[in-house]
Amino acid sequence: MLNKIFTPLILLFILIIGLFLRLYKIDSIPPHLSNDEISIAYDAFSINKTQKDEYGIHLPLSFKSQGSYKAPGYAYLLSPLFNFLPNTDLTARLPSIIMGLITLLSIGLISFYLSGSKIIGLTSAALLAITPWHIFTSRSVFEANIALAFYSLGLLFFIINFYQKKYNLFYFFISAIFFIASIYSYHSQWLYVPLTIIFLLFLLNKQNKIKFFYLSLCIILITPLIFDSIKNQNTTARQNTQLVWQESMVAQEIDSTNSVFKKIKIVNRAITNNYLSQIKPSFLFFEGLGLFKKNFPLEMGLFLYPFIIPFMLGLINPPQNINKKSQKIIYFLLITSPFIPAITHGSNILRNLIFIIPSIIIISFGFVKILKSNFFIKISFLGFLLMSIFYFYTMYFYQSPREIADTYQGYKPIVHYLQNIEYQHAHIHYRFGPECRFIGVPHYYFGFYNYIDPKFFHNRISDSNGTHYEKFSIQHIDWNNIDIKQNHLYITPASNKITGKVKDKVKLEKEFFDPNGYLSFQIWKGI
């Protein structure tokens, strides 16, 4: 009786902690929507208002965006929210937050079914709730986070069938829908989901009718996306440029030899190095999260650094009562999930996000063992863990916004300021940061936060002077070669210093500052 009461209460407490860590200061940390985030947000807003993306394409299955051809899942999950929620960072990130919480539940249940232990199931959910990697991805408009949620649900409903007296076609049906939804959510799942499905069907042994049903359903569900990819070759073009053999140094090495054997050896070495870089302990527990600039001494790992102890313990000495089928699933995920980032260049914590599933399960194995150890070991480890949680909290919520302040795209406060003043036209410099080194996408920010009718976006004009829509022009502002017009606003980064005779033709309207308190943007008004 007590178990029936305490289990839901513990789970509720875990969800509350998970929600707090994913919702706290969400409108300011991260300090702004990134280029990819704001483009997805505006496409979702455009779909909501016109059933077309920013380019006027009706209900696309691949969003052209900035030429990256994004998967459709996130935009279609976000779009209905604009019927009753405002255009804010919170609204844009809300699907990721919600799906992050669903992932806590699904991975907790996966752990429970694979281990047969409620304690391990609850431990997995609790540890995922405080894992930096998952907190980081759940607080941003990341397609990979949505894909992880769908993938974990697909895996969960398939695994449930292994523990039924008789296979239930309904669970297989739901599993297939979620697995294919994962592919619709993130392009990297194109390879890994089919690999997972083949492996899971192999575990069904002689159930040929069920295998045929499952595969047929998956093929039917994925067919629209396949036809869209064939029709629109650009959908896969970007993925091809990210493959490891397209990376500049690897490509140069391949071109330097005519030997097919040597070319294969070069590619194999690059893939192996990438694979190992995804699973090395220093990357996982000490420096992989990438909150700060390169070589920053206080960088965080994907997992809290004390997790390395239960991870090694759970890997070396897993619970004895886990059956062979469960072991095969865990080790399949552990070994194969880094494969996708391995065949692409550069370490990528989004493409490897599926790795979080087996890792958390294994960590929970070791964590439970520690909790069952003697009092001194238990208290020492828990104290160590609390210190690491406080460290992450401080680094993520207070230190990281200041360390990356020079990459701050401060367009949101500018938009809000312009909503309350009179002006004829606004000219926005498309670069920002020190020495104008970063390329921004201000047209998305001004369109999204101003609720600009997507029809203006569909009919925007691009010429040698920039991009123009409604009363905004996104352009390069050269103070030495610009025709200043009265009552026009000129929005530039602080690093784009005003020079020459222009000084007498404009007045400073407003200044904006980054999280460090340094001047980031200025608005000048033609007089």
Q: Residue 470: what pLDDT?
A: 87
Residues whose CB is less than 8 angstroms from the CB of residue 69 and which lie 6 or more positions away in sequence, other chains included:
62, 63, 232, 234, 235, 237, 238
With bands split at pLDDT 50, 70 and 90, how would you rate the model's confidence at 239? low
Q: Is 80 exceeded by the pLDDT of residue 236? A: no
Mean pLDDT of 357-376: 96
Long-range pairs for 332-335: beta carbons < 8 A, 24 or more residues apart: 332/196, 332/199, 333/357, 333/358, 334/358, 334/359, 334/362
Query: Which of 30-39, 125-134, 241-250, 344-353 comes out lowest in average pLDDT?
Result: 241-250
Domain end position, chosen among 354, 371, 403: 403
**158, 117: one domain:** yes
Q: Residue 230: what pLDDT?
A: 83
Tally the residues of the chain.
Answer: 527
* 3-state secondary structure at position 503: helix
Q: Residue 439: what pLDDT?
A: 86
Q: Where are the beta strands (DSSP E) in 331-481?
A: 425-429, 431-432, 438-439, 461-463, 466-469, 472-475
Q: Is 70 exceeded by the pLDDT of residue 241? A: no
Q: What is the pLDDT of residues 67-110, one digit of tens each?
A: 788 999 999 999 999 999 999 999 999 999 999 999 999 999 99
Mean pLDDT of 366-392: 95
Residues whose CB is less than 8 angstroms from the CB of residue 20 and which lie 6 or more positions away in sequence, other chains included:
none
Domain end position, chosen among 337, 372, 403: 403
Mean pLDDT of 49-71: 91
DSSP notation for 269-300: HHHHHHHHHHH-HHIIIII-S--SSTT-TT--
- Domain presence at residue 188: yes
Q: Is 90 exceeded by the pLDDT of residue 163? A: no
Q: Is 60 exceeded by the pLDDT of residue 354? A: yes
Q: Is 90 exceeded by the pLDDT of residue 275? A: yes
With bands split at pLDDT 50, 70 and 90, how would you rate the model's confidence at 502? confident
Q: Residue 85 in contact with residue 489, Cβ under 8 Å?
A: no
Mean pLDDT of 125-134: 98
**390, 423: one domain:** no
**179, 272: one domain:** yes
* pTM score of the predicted model: 0.95
- Domain presence at residue 25: no
- Domain presence at residue 73: yes
**206, 242: one domain:** yes
Q: What is the pLDDT of residues 469-487, one digit of tens each?
A: 889 999 999 998 888 999 9
Q: What is the pLDDT of residues 318-346, one digit of tens each?
A: 998 899 999 999 999 999 999 988 887 65
DSSP state of 354: G
With bands split at pLDDT 50, 70 and 90, how would you rate the model's confidence at 1? very low
Distance CA 425, CA 422 (A): 9
The count of structural domains within the chain is: 2
Q: Which domain holds residue 511?
A: 407-526
**438, 471: one domain:** yes
Average pLDDT of the residues of the chain: 91
- Domain presence at residue 15: no
**390, 521: one domain:** no
- Domain presence at residue 234: yes
Q: Work out the angle at residue 307's Cα, subtended by the Cα atoms of residues 303 and 311, and round it to the nearest 5 degrees.
A: 110
**95, 219: one domain:** yes
Domain end position, chosen among 374, 403, 432: 403
Q: Residue 181: what pLDDT?
A: 98
Give the max Cα distance, the chain: 84
Residues whose CB is less than 8 angstroms from the CB of residue 233 and which lie 6 or more positions away in sequence, other chains included:
none
Determine the residue type at 488: H
- Domain presence at residue 17: no
Q: What is the pLDDT of residues 99-121, one digit of tens each?
A: 999 999 999 999 999 999 999 99
Q: What is the pLDDT of residues 401-437, one digit of tens each?
A: 888 777 777 899 999 999 999 999 999 999 888 888 8
- Domain presence at residue 34: no
